[in-house]
Chains A and B, each alone.
Chain A
Amino acid sequence: AQSVSQHNHHVILSEAASLELGCNYSYGGTVNLFWYVQYPGQHLQLLLKYFSGDPLVKGIKGFEAEFIKSKFSFNLRKPSVQWSDTAEYFCAVNAGQAGTALIFGKGTTLSVSS
């Protein structure tokens, strides 16, 4: 069965610090990978996704993620965080063939102090 592990439960950073959130998945076949973000009081929204092609994908608000197939990883990065990045971040995966629902990790809470 597919599963997703997010290594950091709560990350606390100062503004302008660099961010990297770890995500590993367990699935032997082709996968689609996603990062979703939930800002305080708002609904989940897509940050970025990887289906195929360039393993370095760029999303909204300066976020990027790198798919490393050999490590079953899809880590999220941002070179310089802002206070407005305070949110909960979820990594998710589904099987490569279209049609399967997303499996989510437990989430990482990011707190950015100004």
Chain B
Amino acid sequence: EAGVAQSPRYKIIEKRQSVAFWCNPISGHATLYWYQQILGQGPKLLIQFQNNGVVDDSQLPKDRFSAERLKGVDSTLKIQPAKLEDSAVYLCASSTRTGSVTYTGELFFGEGSRLTVL
């Protein structure tokens, strides 16, 4: 079974530039998450999708961050304009549909996209 795919693995940009990250979840997983992991900290949820609808985006800095999952499969997270404090690893995770009989609570993570903002 293929895992969660993310790209690019690494990105270096200057502040005020824009960047986009892509995620393809495990096939059949209805729920998709984007987390931000700053060095020395645990992952922090940015946004959670169920199919193509947003479940929770309360911690997404909406003035600069946006995310979409238009067809309920893959997803894109965009930052525009980037700030120095956005340097982090952006993790995508997926799970079976929350609330379904197949839901186990386990999130499956991709390898992450490491962003460095100079």
A-B contact count (CB 8 A): 59
What is the minimal beta-carbon distance from A47 to any residue of chain B, in angstroms? 11
A101 and B45 contact, CB distance less than 8 A = yes
B42 and A104 contact, CB distance less than 8 A = yes
Q: CB within 8 A of B106: which of A42, A46, A101?
A: A46
B55 and A90 contact, CB distance less than 8 A = no
Count of interface residues, chain B, beta-carbon cutoff 8 Å: 28
Encode contact with B along A79-114: 1 for CB under 8 Å, 0 otherwise.
000000000001010100011111111110000000
Chain A: CB-nearest residue to B112: A43
Q: How far is the CA of A35 from the CA of B109 in the complex (A)?
A: 14
Measured between beta carbons, the chain B residues less than 8 angstroms from A105 are: 42
A106 and B41 contact, CB distance less than 8 A = yes
B41 and A44 contact, CB distance less than 8 A = no
A101 and B103 contact, CB distance less than 8 A = no
Q: How far is the CA of A36 from the CA of B110 in the complex (A)?
A: 13
Chief secondary structure at chain B's binding surface: loop
Some 30 contacts from A to B, beta carbons below 8 A apart, are A6-B42, A36-B109, A42-B111, A43-B3, A43-B4, A44-B43, A44-B91, A44-B93, A44-B107, A44-B109, A46-B107, A49-B104, A49-B105, A49-B106, A51-B105, A92-B42, A98-B103, A99-B50, A99-B55, A99-B98, A101-B33, A101-B55, A102-B43, A102-B45, A102-B107, A103-B45, A104-B42, A105-B42, A106-B40, A107-B41
Contact residues of A with B, CB < 8 Å?
4, 6, 32, 34, 36, 42-46, 49, 51, 90, 92, 94, 98-107
